Amino acid sequence: MPELPEVESVRIGLAGHVLGRTIEGVCVYRPYSIRHTPGGAEEFQDELMGATFAEVARRGKFLWFILDAPEGTGRALALVVHLGMSGQLRVHSDTESGPGSHTRVRLTLGGASPMILDFVDQRTFGYMTVDELVLTTDGGPGGVGTQLPALPARAAHIARDLTDPLLDLAATAERMKSRRSPVKAVLLDQGMAAGVGNIYADEALWRARINGGTRADRIALPRLIALLEAGREVMTEALAQGGTSFDALYVNVNGESGYFSRSLNVYGRAGDPCPRCGEPIRREAFANRSSHFCPRCQRRK
DNA sequence: AGGTCGACCTTAGTGC
DNA sequence: TGCACTAA
DNA sequence: GTCGACC
């Protein structure tokens, strides 16, 4: 499941291939995948045809391509992508090949050597849409990959990345402390700090030795700050490793490869000994999803 | 206000 | 082999 | 992964 490190890997990979290219073809195989576009496939095509990719930016799990419209119609637009649970963006140059069975949208990009950008999404929870850019409330850059103090309207409620130096950890910890919900839920709240998903939330909690079910307001401020720092560390390390599993012409998110199989301490390791104390890692249901933790290092308080 | 649950959708894997 | 259920 | 409904 793509979280901040995975989406950032995709962003970096894409930047190297699509910047400066113009969209010459738009194929929507699955209208549901562009469901957030009010005018449907027709509007989606109209707004994209002829547009050029000026920048590729990201905030949390949102990715967007800032468009240079052919006839500057005033409003700044971006092609927004959210990968959901299983989305992938793939770039390749064989314009002859047909779309795979899970390809939902295909864009043909012009240039010296034309290329294809496929949005592949098995489960379909992800989506693509064209959205208007709105100014950031703090005046800072809208996301990683752009200097513009703007981001897509539909991502405006997302906080700055947990890994963003501009995010004030102490202030964020204070906000967390005002919540009575389980700290894991607060960590997953994209309006608090963006980019943390189920996997990295479990990893951060394990590193900080905090039980995710503990009410946030019952945790001392320094521990909340430590939790945020732990999250920042895991995601930074994951990004460093995630970069290695992608090669030039194949840009994707593969939930099983690289970082996943090796470096995770608790996620997907139910029954395995805790790397710190040897106690078997436990897996429990939490808010309709699974949580992994060490019952010894992460006692409920 | 918080917490739990189901919905959204597709498919690969597991077990009887 | 296939259906039912689950995890992702 | 995310949203909205209901207790």
- pLDDT band of A284, cuts 50, 70, 90: confident
A184 is catalytic: no
Q: Which residue has the tokens 């204070």?
A: A174
Q: Which domains does chain A have, with CATH numbers?
A: 4-155 (3.20.190.10), 169-293 (1.10.8.50)
What pLDDT was estimated at residue A247?
41
Q: Are A291 and A281 in contact (CB under 8 A)?
A: no
| DSSP-derived secondary structure letter, A99 | P
Q: Which residues pair with A22 in a beta bridge?
A: A52
Alpha-helical (H) ranges within chain A are: 4-18, 40-48, 169-177, 183-188, 198-207, 221-242, 259-263
Terminal Cα-to-Cα distance of chain A (whole angstroms): 29
**CA–C1' gap, A284 and D2, in angstroms:** 21
Q: Which residues pair with A183 in a beta bridge?
A: none
Confidence check: pLDDT of A36 > 80 = yes
**CA–C1' gap, A69 and C5, in angstroms:** 49
Positions 80-119 of A with beta carbon below 7 A from strand D are 82, 84-85
Q: Which residue has the tokens 């308080």?
A: A301
Phi-psi region of A162 (alpha: psi -120 to 50; beta: other; left: phi over 0): alpha
Confidence check: pLDDT of A261 > 80 = no
Q: Are strands A87-92 and A115-121 parallel, antiparallel or unpaired?
A: antiparallel
Residues 6+ apart with CB under 8 A from A256: none
* Mean pLDDT of chain A, nearest integer: 89
Of residues A114, A218, A222, A289, which has the active-site annotation? A289
Between CA A116 and CA A96 the distance in angstroms is 10
Residue pLDDT, tens place only, A77-118 = 999 999 998 889 998 888 989 999 999 999 999 988 999 999
Q: Which residue has the tokens 């549901």?
A: A32
pLDDT-wise least confident of A7-11, A60-64, A250-254: A250-254
pLDDT-wise least confident of A35-39, A84-88, A242-246: A242-246
Residue pLDDT, tens place only, A149-167 = 999 999 999 999 999 999 9
Residue pLDDT, tens place only, A51-79 = 999 999 999 999 999 999 766 566 899 99
Residue pLDDT, tens place only, A155-202 = 999 999 999 999 999 999 999 999 999 999 999 999 999 999 998 999
A61 is catalytic: yes
Q: What is the SS3 assignment for A226?
A: helix
- pLDDT band of A263, cuts 50, 70, 90: confident
Bigger pLDDT: A246 vs A237: A237
pTM above 0.90, yes or no: yes
ipTM value: 0.89
Confidence check: pLDDT of A267 > 70 = yes
Tokens of A58: 């990201």
